[in-house]
Amino acid sequence: MPIAFRYTRASAGLIITEGTNISPQGRGYAFTPGIYDDAQVEGWRQVTEAVHASGGRIFPQLWHVGRVSHPSLQPGGVLPVAPSAIWPEATSYTEAGFQPCVPPRALATAEIPEIVEQYRRATRNALAAGFDGVEIHAANGYLIEQFLRDSTNKRTDVYGGSRENRARLLLEVTQAVARVCGGERVGIRLSPVSPVNGAGVDSDPAGTYAYVVERLNAFGLAYIHIIEGVTQGQREVPGGFDFQNLRRSFKGLYIANNGYDLRLALEVRRLNLADLISFGRLYIANPDLVERLRIGARLNVPDRETFFGGGAAGYTDYPVLTSAERGAALL
Residue numbers annotated as active site: 142
Return the closest-CA partner of residue 147 out of 176, 170, 115: 170
Three-state SS for 264? helix
C-alpha span between 51 and 42 (Å, rounded): 15
Burial of 311 (0-12, 13-18, 19+ CB in 10 A): exposed
Edge-to-edge strand list for the sheet holding 58-63: 15-21, 58-63, 134-138, 186-190, 223-227, 253-257, 276-277
What is the Cα 38 distance to its own chain's centre? Answer: 22
Terminal-to-terminal C-alpha distance of the chain = 33
- C-beta of residue 197 within 8 angstroms of C-beta of residue 68: yes
Interior/surface letters 40-67, b for 16+ CB within 10 angstroms, e for the rest: bbeebeebbebbeeeebbbbbbbbbbbb
Three-state SS for 11? helix
Widest CA span of the chain, in angstroms? Answer: 65
